[in-house]
Amino acid sequence: MVVTTLVLVQAVVLRAHVNVGQIRQLAARNNVSCVLVFGDSSVDPGNNNVLQTTMKGNFPPYGKDFFGRRPTGRFSDGRLATDFIADTIGYHKIIPGFLDPHLKVANMVHGVSFASAASGYDDYTANISNVLPLSAQLKYFMHYKVKVRRLLGEKRADDIIRNAIFVLSMGTNDFLQNYYLDPFRPSQYTLNEYQNFLVSRMADNIKALIKCSSSKFDRISCILFMITFAKEEMHRLGARRLVVVGVPPLGCMPLVKTLQDQTTCVESYNKLSLSFNSKISFKLSSIKSTLRMKVGFVDVYGIVVNAMNNPHKYGLTETSKGCCGTGTIEYGDSCRGMATCNDPTKYVFWDAVHPTEKMYKIIAEEAVESVNSNLLI
């Protein structure tokens, strides 16, 4: 099966090998301190485990290929792309969830994730599943800042945050869990207007993130800023390196194909993915110049499409269905206790929505190249 890519946001060439030594040298030379992550299930290592929500992945068969073969809350058989990014840069092999009750402050220093599965740029998306909206994730980031300051002192803590790589990965749920299922947003916006609304929310939250990471911005001021989303340009930046991950080809997800009664990728959903990614990329160019920060965009759409069109090049054989259950509709709780395929490393999808650890590693390699070319050099 060949997936039509239409017009890609940016050209993508998958790397079969990443020079880990070179990446680590560049990271050290540029004082990269840690990786701080915000987003949805694509980057949630288990924060939803402690929330009153059904959107969890802390049960088998999730985690069957993770260290110790245990479920952690990650919606995959193993590690996520952000885990591989942290490992490649030279920190821990995984990025822990900030809400993990067993996490020690000392282990937060080299990176942590505030992400919450089923979240989105639209706070209403998170409300549907009772998970953490991006605004709440930013508030937890302020708690993180306070904890690290207490451990290391204000100057050292602020240096760590200033030299961190911030990763933002969400958007899928705004369409699949919200706009296409709930009548509220469609009654307010056309699909194009809703995309513009989401991009505006993304920009506001990036500005809030920058403001809240500034060494001169306290917690109360940050919360007030997040409420008002003031538009003035920040003269003293905290966050200086940002990686934003686009949405994948929504029409190629097994769940979407099943619900739309199609055996091939749903073109209208893929057109939406490309349109939204294009809007994100354009807005990031503006943010990059206006706020004078280094910004990298990861075209996950192009990465997944290329892997699906050239599976044997990456050791893949199954691109149309997931590894869990029938592979056509199960994800989250409906995947609980299901039988799985014999070899997930041959699959693009783990369940009917989320990638396998193998696919996340491929995505991570491209993300690391984005970090390399846009943030470190």
- Residues 264-284 as b or e (16 or more Cβ within 10 Å = b): ebbeebbbbbbbbbbbbbebb
Q: Cβ neighbours of residue 193 under 8 Å, at least 6 residues apart? A: none
- Provide the sign of the torsion angle of the four alpha carbons 153, 158, 163, 165, taken in this order: positive
- Provide the sign of the torsion angle of the four alpha carbons 143, 147, 148, 154, taken in this order: positive
Give all strands (DSSP E) within 7-86, no chain letters: 35-39
Number of Cα atoms under 13 Å in the Cβ half of residue 82: 32
d(Cα 16, Cα 245) in Å, to the nearest integer? 20
d(Cα 20, Cα 44) in Å, to the nearest integer? 24
Structure tokens at 357: 């650890």
Structure tokens at 265: 């990728």
Residue 147 CA to chain centroid, in angstroms? 24
Q: Return the closest-CA partner of residue 111 out of 228, 243, 19.
A: 243
Q: Cβ neighbours of residue 160 under 8 Å, at least 6 residues apart? A: 33, 34, 109, 148, 152
- Provide the sign of the torsion angle of the four alpha carbons 195, 200, 203, 209, taken in this order: negative
d(Cα 9, Cα 275) in Å, to the nearest integer? 9
d(Cα 48, Cα 51) in Å, to the nearest integer? 5
Pick the catalytic residue: 41, 119, 213, 214? 41
E strand or H helix at 147: helix 134-152
How does DSSP classify residue 97? B
Pick the catalytic residue: 33, 204, 299, 354? 354
Q: Which amino acid type is present at position 38? A: F
Pick the catalytic residue: 113, 273, 351, 370? 351
d(Cα 12, Cα 53) in Å, to the nearest integer? 36
Is 351 marked active-site? yes
Cite the active site residues. 41, 351, 354
